[in-house]
Structure 1
Amino acid sequence: MEVDVLEFLVPVENNKTLFVWDIQPVHTEAEIYERLFSVFSSFGPLYLLKVSSNAPLHPPGFSALVKFYSAAQASEAQRRTDGCLLFQTSPLKVRLSSKQTPHFLSDSSRPLSHARCLELANHCLGFNGWTSDIITLKELTNKEEEEEGGGGRRRRLRFGCLLQLSFPPHRQTTRGAAVVEDSFTCTGPDVLLQKRCKLQKQVREKALVQAFTTVLLILLGNGKVMVEVKQTSDQFLPEQIEGVLQVNEFSWSEFDPDEEDGGDEEWDLTVS
């Protein structure tokens, strides 16, 4: 039985990437996108579909880049669509990528975004195939800093979240934690409230993303999906969460390159 393993990571491997050529200019770019998406998404969930016009020195037409999460699904899609007419009167040329992956990307393990995690989980497991529950969400820092001109004061907020991700049909559970912070000019209680709501949403989403990075989706040849959880040295166990959880040296730069490292402070996520 053929088995493929999906992780909640950005796919960078060549065997998950297809190039499509010889697309006739008889449809608009938006129409071509819809038709290609309909064709290739029937083989499995897509991470990316991009349609581009041919370069000026080439004949009029389009080409496309298709990225799958699964190498097996990409291979099947290539075999079954290459040389086919699909939605036009001449055959399409579909090939697996042969472009050499840069060394700095070959071992890349960048997590999917929050929206992509939800999309992949719902596609493979269904809306009832998984649940997430917040164990604790705490405001860790609320400090006023130096006063600025215009009557506003600088304020720094930091939130921490511990979340549990469960897959009841598969009897699997994992957990994720996140810390986010922001420094801003507070000109009134409405600004403070909006910032609190925004940070609480961000920290919940980052905790869920972190939990999904430990999950493996095992696609079986008969169409069924199994869920396994990677055992890591820093994985949270149920008996370790009672009382106080302390998160040390928590860096989220890998999830948000624009976010500065918060340093080596120790955060207390007490479960009340």
Structure 2
Amino acid sequence: MVEIVEFRVPAGNGRTLLVLGLETGASEHALYLAFSTFGPLYSVGVHQNAPVAGPGYYALVKFYSARDACKAQCACNQQSLFQKSPLKVYICTRQRPFPQQVLALNSYKCRELANHYLGFNGWSSRIITLQNISGFEEEENEEVTTSSRKQHSKYLCVQELTFPLYGVRTRGVGVAELHIDPNQEFLMDTNNIQKLAVHRALSDAFQKILILVLENGKVAVEYSSPQEDPIDCLTEEELKGLLQVTELSLSQLGPIEEEEISDLTMQ
């Protein structure tokens, strides 16, 4: 059987484990070390029991793969693992009345997932263009004042993602926008806005990729897009004709988490 792993926040039944019987002091790090041996984890959370359930703690461990979650449940149920008393581990199979919104992974988790299945040399990315597009909208709006222009910054990035062993290539687009509150003392610098656009472009490119995992552990990569993507159809020369190219490498930007600056940006 083949399992499909997407670069999205895992949703649906069978991917989340409910861990009961945690002793006081149990940490998310200990849970991560115990369960990550079965496959990559999206999240680990430790919570205090509800008053009706009595004292103690429980955890929710979310896998990307339902197959990995099943293996972990079979191996860890009724085992003490990192504490003296045994744990009770169940697979969450509760049906939700309404369909869940499918959310894209941020770029950090996309890289983490790709490195797990494909290795550090199994994929590469490069920036095709990174451009300040703040003035494009302002030129069309004659009512925009000079002062408001200084309080608005917007960058667009197009990034290419390549999987050389599988002959797969795709592109993603990311836009980062910042509106400055005149009463706000802290200002985000231009470099962080550029970084955010780059990371969003990489995340967007990964959304078109599927990882196919066989039972024997072998993997394949497929391109998947619900409709013809205009960015992927354009040649690099055509993109350069449409957008002004700014030379800036991903290594120059350095890593940044979207969550770290989400409270400073508004889109």
Deviations 1:36-79 (A, max 9, x none): 21221011000111112223444432211010001111111112
- 2:128 corresponds, among 130, 135, 147, to 135
1:182 paired with 2:178, answer yes
Q: Could you say what secondary structure the match of 1:217 adopts?
A: strand
Contact 2:177 2:266 in 1 (8 A): no
What's 2:78 paired with? 83
What's 1:22 paired with? 21
Query: Separation in 1 of the partners of 2:174 and 2:46?
Result: 36
Counterparts in 2 of 1:1-272, with a 5 A limit?
A: 2-25=1-24, 28-30=25-27, 33-105=28-100, 108-142=101-135, 145-146=144-145, 154-184=150-180, 195-235=189-229, 236-237=231-232, 239-244=234-239, 259-260=266-267
Percent of aligned pairs sharing the same letter:
37
Query: Separation in 1 of the partners of 2:232 and 2:201?
Result: 16
Query: Separation in 2 of the partners of 1:102 and 1:215?
Result: 28
Give the deviation of 1:229 after TM superposition.
1.0
Give the deviation of 1:195 after TM superposition.
3.1
What amino acid is the match of 1:156? H
Contact 1:24 1:60 in 2 (8 A): no
Contact 2:156 2:173 in 1 (8 A): yes
Q: Could you say what secondary structure the match of 1:10 adopts?
A: coil
Contact 1:51 1:62 in 2 (8 A): yes
Instruction: Identify the range of structure 1 (135-144 vs 57-66) with the bigger mean alpha-carbon deviation.
Output: 135-144
Closer/same/farther in 2, CA of residues 232 and 240 from structure 1, 3 Å limit: farther
Query: Separation in 2 of the partners of 1:75 and 1:201?
Result: 37
Q: Could you say what secondary structure the match of 1:170 adopts?
A: coil
Q: Is there any run of 5+ residues in structure 2 with no aligned partner, and where?
A: 244-261
Structure 1 length-normalised TM: 0.76
Give the deviation of 1:119 after TM superposition.
1.6
Give the deviation of 1:117 after TM superposition.
1.1
Query: Separation in 2 of the partners of 1:185 and 1:34?
Result: 38
Deviations 1:237-260 (A, max 9, x none): 36544224769xxxxxxxx89844
What is the RMSD computed on CA atoms of the aligned residues? 3.0
Give the deviation of 1:102 after TM superposition.
4.2
Q: In the comparison of the two structures, how many residue pairs are matched? A: 238
What's 1:253 paired with? none
Instruction: Identify the range of structure 1 (56-65 vs 121-130) with the bigger mean alpha-carbon deviation.
Output: 56-65
Instruction: Identify the range of structure 1 (209-218 vs 170-179) with the bigger mean alpha-carbon deviation.
Output: 170-179
What amino acid is the match of 1:136? T
Considering fraction of residues, name the structure with more strand. Answer: 1
Considering fraction of residues, name the structure with more helix. Answer: 2
What's 2:249 paired with? none
